Each structure stands twice: as C-alpha cells, then as structure tokens.
Amino acid sequence: MSRLSDQSRAIIAAALSLIVIVAWSLIYKPPKPAAPQPGGTTPSGISTNASPDTISPNASTPNAVSPTTGSANAAAPNAAAGASRSGAPAGGTSTIAPVAATAEKITVVESDLYRVELSSRGAVVRSWQLKKFTDDHQPPRILDVVNAEVATQTGDWPFSLQIGDPQLEAAANKALYVVSTPSGTMQGASESNSAGVTLLAPAEIDFQWSDGQTEVTKRLKFDRSYIAEVEVSVRHNGQPVPHRVAWRGGFGDVTAFRAAIQTAVFGGRAGSTTQVATKNLGVPDQRNMAADIPGTFDAVGIEDLYFAAAFLRPLPPPGQPVAQDLTLSARQVQHTLQTDGKTTQETLPEMAAGDTPPEDPLKLRVFVGPKDLDLLKSIHPPLNGLVQFGWTGFISEPLFYVLLWLHRYVPNYGWAIVAMTVAINMLLYPLKVSSWRSMQKMQKVAPEIRSIQDRFKKYSVRDPRKQEMNKEVMAVYSREGINPLGSCLPMVAQFPIWFGLNRMLTATIELRHAPWFGWIHDLSSRDPYYILPVTMAVLMYVVQKMTPVTVTDPSQARMMALTPIMFGGMFIVFPISSGLALYILTSSAIAILQQWHLNRISPLKAPGKQKKK
C-alpha cells in the first residue's frame, strides 16, 4: 500500500475526531438544569422570587462569573452542578445559581426619627437622615450623616463589606442585589414605584446576590427607634468567608466647623469609650489600608461631636452582659475638596466591625443617632461615654441636668442659663462676703505692708534678701488672720464652672442650635457679632472699678485694672460659646449689684500711706 499523503491523513483525522465527538454527545448527554420554582429556593438557600429584575441562572451579567467558552470547558460546570444536586461534591467545589438584578433599585425606610435610603448596588446605605436635626448649612437642611460627596469620590458607602480577598470584596460591594421584603413588612408601604419602594418602619429588607461561586445575603431590620439590626452572610463555594460590616464615606454633619477633625473612630467597653486618633489609623506607611485596633469591645463605631454610629452585639438573654467580642479595624481616606477656589485635602476615618471568632451570619445591632445622654444610657450596653465631657465631666454633667430641669419651667435654654447663673451666684455669695472681709483686713494693714516693701525695693528680685521681705509680709498676714488669696475666692470658684459649662454647651445635643433671642441662634457656637464678649468685658471692668484696690504695688494694681480687657480680647481671639459668654455677662451684672450692696453696708476705705516717722 502506497503511503498516504499528508492531505489524506488530515482528512482521516478530522473524520475520526468528528465521529468521536458525535458518539460522545449521543452516549453522555449533559443533565438538563433544573428550572427554579416560582417563589422557591435554590439548593443554596438563596431566594429566587420571580421578579422582572431577577436574572435566570443561564443569563450573564456584568457581576457574574461567566463560564469559559468551549465544549470541553463548558461540560465541567454542568457536571459539577449535576453532582451538587445529587449530593456528591465535584472537585471539592459547590456551584450555585447566579442571582443578580438588572438595574439599581433604591429602597427607602422612614419613621418619625429617620429616613434611610438603601441601594441594591452593593446593598449599601446611600443616605441616613435624622429628621429631628438640621445641619449647619445656610439655609439649614435635614441632617444627613452620610457624606455623599466623599462616598461618591471613594466609591465606598456605609454597610459595605470588608473582606480579606480584595477581588471578592470589590465584587460583593459593586454587585446588583435582588431586593425582597419578607411577608408583612409591605403593610407599612406608603409609596411604591418602578424605581423602588418606600416603607414605613418597622420594616425588614433582604438583599441577595450570587455569581455562581460567591453568595452574599444581607438582612436589615428597622423599628421606630434609632437602632437597626443587620445580619450578613458571605460564602464562597459553600464555605463561610470571614467578613466585617463597614461604615465608609464619612460621617456626621459635614457642614460643621472643622467637621473632619471632629470625626473619630471609637471602641467601647462597659459604658466607657476610647477614641482612636485618626493619624494612628491604618497600616503604618500605608494608612489607606485597614488595620485592626488591638482588643475586643462591646461597642465600636464612628462619631462626631454630636452624633454617632455604633455597632453592637445582639441583645443577650435577660440578666446576662453583652459579650465583649467585637473587633474593630480602621483606616484613613483622603478627600479632595475645593475651598475658596483652592484644591485641598482632608483626612477622614473609616471603620469596620466584626466578631471573634468569626461567625456566619454576622449579626449586629447598629445605633445611628444623636448623643442624647439619657438615650445613650438606656442602650445595652450603655453608650453615655460618647458624650465628650472630658476631664470636666464631674462639673459638666451636674450642670447639664440642672439646666434640663430649669428648661422644664423656662422653655428657652438662653433664659434657663440666665436663671442658672443667678442661682449659682447666690450660692457663691458667702464667698463674696468672705472675700469682702478679707479685703477689709488687707486694707487695714496696707500701710504696714507698703512700708515693708519700701524698705526692700532697692534689692533686685533675685537678691536673697527679698525672701526676708516676703517673710515679714506673711508674718503680718498671719498676725491679723488674713488669707492672701481670700479676695480671689469668688473668681477661683468660677473658673471650674466656666470650663465645665463651656464643655457642656459644646458637647450636648440639646444645646446644639439652641437659640436665645435676636442674633443668638446657637448657644453652643460663638457670638457672630462679638456683642456678648464685648459687653461682658465692659461689665467686668465696671465690677473692677467698683471694687476698692487693696494691693499696694502699683504694677499689680495696673495689672488688675487690665484684667477685664485681657479677658475680653482673649474671648474674641479664641471665641467661646455664646452660652458661656451669656453666663459670664450675667455673672458680671449680678456682681455689680452685689458689690453695690456691699459698698453701701460696709464701705472700704482706700488704702492710705503710712506716715513717715
């Protein structure tokens, strides 16, 4: 037999290959995919509710992982699917039906306290408005604690997922989820349209997505309080994937003064919270990558001066404490903004809450609301540590509750501050009388003190003999029973009250945007026209002039005369809250009346000069 030509060999090989392919397809037919039942579930447990925006398992989407083309490669997923349905693993992987939506849908949940917009793209929060509060914008708008500008710029929103695998995280946070509302929640619907649905709390919303390998479900429950519930499950090839729920895209009143600096991440244990400085967030030398904060907590979250988003564990059985097994990770993000025509950057914190050991599903409660002290104390675990009284808390908190009590009878916080000021100055009046008596004694010995000072004035301040002068002066005070600081007691007693009141005014939600009258629209912020600080300085100067000078040193007398002017200038350069300026102004007015009364019943003589012998 003659040798076959190359062309003949090619034809025979092609014919044999065709025969093998046809025979294989006739003998080994691939199993037909099981049609999903309307309203039923797939083997993975993901709901396949019939909906116009639900994609069939054989459809391809931008968010689904497409099978590789080719007959040999196409047979593998089909065989794996058949093995999965029969209960036998195929190559150690589990294949589920892709579930995704065709278009983004916005779901709105409303109550008397909030309005929350949820997007099906990523199953994230696009807006969280607190209806009872406004921002610092002019004119004021309903406060939205989600910084949409930052979130749009970074592409990250609240309730995004933090997952160790960046590709898996990106897929879960950008996918189009199928949205469903379990039976009963639609009874609260106030509006429905093709773009989404608006629900009245209490409401429950489910988000579901799968690309055939990874499946993610989120369930959100809202009631009529500031606390919502979140339940998240992430699985890849049927195996749980550790994950965390993040608050990204900024937080709080972005229109407030120095808003970025006031925003911070915190961790809490047993009612005590600790802020983590933004500069310390993230991986060293790569702060935009999340890093764990050491320790476990019973509350973690993000806050600004007046509002907070706190992630909590589910409520335990009655009588048991909340588990301190929350983990906290955080990072920095850079936000580019335009200020007065210039491009600047600000650093903002972001955080994510998880649990240890990781559970699937991850169940959390989320408080998003104002730092109302009584409200925070009622939460389990208590969150009252979020109200930032600082080291003045032992003064600020009692003053706050006194002011709240007065506000029940005086329905204006400005006039309530005036009433509280009158009460405090009446309580401090005995110190005023004691100071007055000390002044009388010091006036009596003023000529003798002046004589001692004259004898030693030729010596420099560093001369050891100056110590002898001080000893002689103190001997005179001791002989007459005089406390050199006695005349300063009223002012010394007022300083802690100033610090505590100012901190209370700038840290409590009740005083935020609280008006007095006229041009004072916010007692927690500075006087826009500096009328209160200037008037306060004038009244302090009047008090100074009405009080007889007991010091014998001319330089000290001049310094005391300048003190009111120094205070007024300091409070203009470093503005104080209008509420504190009102307190000092009222205190000065009361001091004028008290000084007039004391001058009348027991006048002081001006210090005389000792006669030369």
Average pLDDT over residues 36-49: 35
Average pLDDT over residues 553-576: 78
The DSSP H or E segment spanning 301 is strand 299-303
CA distances from 109 to 47, 76, 197, 221 (A): 22, 44, 9, 10
Task: Give the span between the Cα atoms of 101 and 210, in whole angstroms.
Answer: 10
Position 309 pLDDT exceeds 80: yes
Task: Give the span between the Cα atoms of 78 and 97, in whole angstroms.
Answer: 11
**pTM for the whole structure:** 0.76
416, 422 Cβ separation under 8 angstroms: no
Least confident segment among 40-49, 369-378, 383-392: 40-49
Higher pLDDT, 109 or 437: 109
- Grade residue 94 by pLDDT with cuts at 50, 70 and 90: low
Question: What would the CATH number be for the domain defined by 106-388?
Answer: 2.70.98.90
Residue type for position 115: R
Residue 324, φ and ψ in degrees, nearest 5: -95, 65
Please give the structure tokens belonging to residue 565: 């002017």
pLDDT in tens, 236-265: 998 999 999 999 988 999 999 888 899 999
pLDDT of residue 604: 61
Residue 492, φ and ψ in degrees, nearest 5: -60, -40
Task: Give the span between the Cα atoms of 278 and 334, in whole angstroms.
Answer: 12
Mean pLDDT of the chain: 80
Which SS3 state, helix, strand or coil, does residue 575 take? coil
pLDDT of residue 35: 37
Angle between helical axes of 429-456 and 465-480 (0-180°, round to 10): 140
Task: Give the span between the Cα atoms of 417 and 578, in whole angstroms.
Answer: 11
Q: What is the DSSP string of 497-548?
A: HHHHHHHHHHH-GGGTT---STT---TTS--TT-HHHHHHHHHHHHHHHHSP
Strand order through the sheet with 189-193: 142-144, 124-134, 114-119, 106-110, 196-200, 189-193
pLDDT of residue 160: 97
180, 206 Cβ separation under 8 angstroms: yes
Position 414 pLDDT exceeds 50: yes
Residues 6 or more apart whose CB falls under 8 angstroms from that of 180 comprise: 47, 49, 51, 205, 206, 208
- Grade residue 486 by pLDDT with cuts at 50, 70 and 90: low
Task: Give the span between the Cα atoms of 167 and 214, in whole angstroms.
Answer: 11
Least confident segment among 80-84, 347-351, 352-356, 512-516: 80-84
- Grade residue 302 by pLDDT with cuts at 50, 70 and 90: very high
Task: Give just the sign of the alpha carbon dihedral 133, 371, 229, 122.
Answer: positive
Q: Alpha-carbon dihedral of residues 432, 434, 435, 441, nearest 10 degrees?
A: 150
Closest residue by Cα to residue 79 from 32, 17, 23: 32
pLDDT of residue 184: 40
Q: What is the DSSP string of 444-479?
A: HHHHHHHHHHHHHTTS-TTSTHHHHHHHHHHHHHHH
163, 243 Cβ separation under 8 angstroms: yes
Position 426 pLDDT exceeds 50: yes
For residue 498, the tally of other CB atoms under 10 A from its CB is 16
pLDDT of residue 469: 84
Average pLDDT over residues 333-350: 84
Angle between helical axes of 531-546 and 578-601 (0-180°, round to 10): 20
Position 86 pLDDT exceeds 60: no
Higher pLDDT, 450 or 507: 507
Least confident segment among 144-153, 404-413, 571-580: 571-580
CA 265 to chain centre: 7
Terminal CA-CA length for the chain: 156
Higher pLDDT, 477 or 175: 175
pLDDT of residue 513: 94
Average pLDDT over residues 177-199: 64
Least confident segment among 115-129, 309-323, 525-539: 309-323
Task: Spell out the domain ranges in the chain.
Answer: 106-388, 396-601
Position 50 pLDDT exceeds 70: no
Length of the chain counted residue by residue = 613
pLDDT of residue 12: 52
For residue 370, the tally of other CB atoms under 10 A from its CB is 21
In the chain, count of helices (H) and strands (E)?
14, 21
Largest CA distance in the chain: 156
3-class DSSP string for 144-212: ECCCHHHHHHHCCCCCEEEECCHHHHHHHHHCECEEECCCCHHHHEEEEECCEEEEECCEEEEEEEECC
